[in-house]
A and B are shown apart, each in its own frame.
Chain A
Amino acid sequence: MNILKIDHLAKRFGSNEILKDVSLNVPEHSIYGFIGQNGSGKTTTMKIILGLLSKDRGNITVCGEEAKYGQTKTNRFIGYLPDVPEYYNYMNPREYLQLCGQITGMDQKKIAAGTKELLSLVGLEQAAKKRIGGFSRGMKQRLGIAQALLNQPRLLICDEPTSALDPVGRKEILDILNTVKDKTTVLFSTHILSDVERICDHIAILNDGTIAINGALNEIKEKHGTDSLQIEFEMEGDCGQFERLYQTHFGVVTEKIDSRTICIQALEIEKTQSEVLGILYQNKLMPLAVQRKKPTLENVFLEVVK
């Protein structure tokens, strides 16, 4: 079942058409990476889902109900972590979660239990009675996840949760997201591709106001990225010689990584590898390494946003 369904969403700010035609489906219990460059419209899309911004065209359904601007009824299914979450600095995390729980109409028992569980999940038990005003970005981000999960939402929307964090903070957030995926569906936007590869099973790439690619991550990698062969030589001369030979034999353009390393994109990796090894053998060129490279998300992304 799809927790979130977006159909032909469009949004314009003045003369700037930021979203032209965005359609995507987020299946239940997935960790969905919403990828795009800075300013591509990721936050705008999320804010429209949450009813914080109006849309010009299109349709959004959350758990089967239509999401409408200003009226945030569908938000009862959603937990949201903004890119830079802002809190009431004079409160402590416990008081803040208490407020969040009461606003969503949870009963006192559930709030108390949820607060305890979530503060321990995000590692803020020690700071439970300290004022939020003194928190680091990482701590605020973790508190953000706790507040978003408090009423056990079916969809957790995180807007660039890791962008402003140091490597330790990033790892903590990714680990937490990974832990909660059994309980909820996670949609998170980012431009950090390694984060996506680490935890996402589905992705959508937003480019030029439309969804360039979406679907299961491994399928996309298989479909869009090609395998490649990387050959490293000891001498620059050998590298140059091999490059000329390969190109005259097969008419395929090779890509030079540096003065001693060459990369060949291969649709059929085994065929290419045997051709390469053949040339190397016949010409007595001894490489340092011949390595098969799997396609990365980075290749796919760069290909798509070209």
Chain B
Amino acid sequence: MKSYLAFLKKELLEYSRTFKLWILIVVFLLLGLMNPLTAKFTPELFENFMPEGMTITIAETTILDCWMQFFKNVPQLGIIVLIIMFSGIMANELSRQTLVIMLTKGMPRLTVILAKFTTAGLLWTVCYWLSFAVTLLYGEVFWTDTTVSNLGVAVFVVWVFGLLLISALILGGVLFRNYYGSLLLTGTVVVVMFLINIPRQIARFSPIRLVSVNMELLSGTITASDIYRPLAVTVVLLLAFLGLSIIVFNKKKI
């Protein structure tokens, strides 16, 4: 436990001193801010840039437009930034051999994986919920009617999806010891999830649903219970990736 906490502290210091922490916070703050702003002001922009004499009627924007921006931006742009920032999560240490001294001091290899997952997960949590909080706050400011259904569930499942990708990055790094390995494995995982999202029979299990049906949850077209299956699959996958990372890393030449 002592070594776990020590390594956790080291990871946090690393993210802070290599500016990754601050970059992530800025990006997610910006994303959070953009959602309500674009939702609110896009119609006005359209009107201003229309050629003289042309009129189009744009329906009054609602809070749903704001959340649509959120579920478009964060699971796409936000997660891409997340993946890039964490792509070196294992590769950095394995290729630069910085773990050699740590491990020869008797630190269990399991600790490395767990501490790395915890820190990356913590950063993702802070950034993601920060982004959410900003969107929520400005939503309240710009719109009077802000009731939507299932908001908690819709937001929560995106967070879980982010954690799954972090575990995939770790497994990729452990398997291939470089950035490309992490990116390749994570990319493959996402592609496979997209593929199983197409046939109807298995689509209802695909973790991709966690980041693709959020608006349907909000509008009430589907209910929260419809997301439980893919959520369960995601959690199982996440644990499997972590377990596999630990097993592989225990056998790894350093």
Contact of A88 among B5, B6, B14, B109 (CB under 8 A): B14
1/0 contact string of A127-147 vs chain B (CB within 8 Å): 000000000000000001001
A78 within 8 A of B: yes
Could you tell me if A80 and B6 are in contact, using CB atoms closer than 8 angstroms?
no
Q: Does B239 contact A (CB under 8 A)?
A: no
Of B29-37, B75-83, B92-100, B184-192, the stretch lying at the interface with chain A is: B92-100
Contacts of A52 in B (CB 8 A): 100, 103-104, 253-254
Contact of A75 among B17, B105, B251 (CB under 8 A): B105
* A100 x B104 contact (CB < 8 A): no
Judge whether A189 is part of the interface by a CB distance below 8 angstroms: no
Chain B residues in 8 Å Cβ range of A209:
none
Docked-complex contact A80 and B101, CB < 8 angstroms: yes
Q: Are B251 and A70 in contact (CB under 8 A)?
A: yes
Which residues of chain A are near B102, meaning CB under 8 Å?
A: 100, 103
The answer to the question of B13 belonging to the interface, with a C-beta cut-off of 8 Å to chain A, is yes
Contact flags (1/0) for A87-100 with B, using CB distance below 8 Å?
A: 11011000100011
A82 and B97 contact, CB distance less than 8 A: yes
How many chain A residues have a CB neighbour from B under 8 Å?
A: 31
Question: In the complex, what residue of chain A is closest to B107 when comparing beta carbons?
Answer: A103
CA distance A72 to B112 in the complex (A): 14
Encoded as 1 (CB less than 8 Å from any A CB) or 0, chain B from 101 to 121 comes to 111111111000000000000
Partner of B98, one of A50, A87, A95, A144: A87
> With A85-B101, A90-B17 in contact, is A103–B3 under 8 Å at CB?
yes
Q: Which residue of chain B has the shortest Cβ distance to A91 in the bound complex? A: B13
Query: Given the complex, which residues of B lie within 8 Å of A8, measured CB to CB?
Result: none
Inter-subunit contact B17/A151 (CB<8 Å): no
Chain A CB within 8 A of B7 CB: yes
Question: Size of chain B's interface in residues, with CB distance under 8 A?
Answer: 28
In the complex, A291 has a CB within 8 A of chain B: no
In the complex, B144 has a CB within 8 A of chain A: no
Report A180 CB to chain B, min CB distance, Å: 18
Given contacts A82-B97, A90-B18, A105-B3, whether A99 and B106 have CB atoms under 8 Å apart is no
Please name all residues of chain A whose beta carbon is closer than 8 Å to the beta carbon of B2 when the two chains form the complex: 102-103, 105
Instruction: Looking at the assembled complex, report how far the CB atom of B98 sits from the nearest CB atom of chain A, in whole angstroms.
Output: 5
5 additional contacts (CB under 8 A) given A80-B104, A105-B2:
A52-B103, A82-B101, A85-B100, A102-B3, A103-B105
5 A-B contacts (beta carbon < 8 Å): A72-B104, A86-B96, A103-B2, A103-B6, A104-B107
Chain A to chain B: the 9 pairs with minimum beta-carbon distance, closest first: A102-B6, A90-B17, A80-B104, A75-B106, A103-B3, A52-B254, A86-B97, A86-B98, A103-B107
Q: Chain A interface (Cβ within 8 Å of chain B)?
A: 47, 50-54, 70, 72-73, 75-76, 78, 80, 82, 84-88, 90-91, 95, 99-100, 102-105, 144, 147, 151
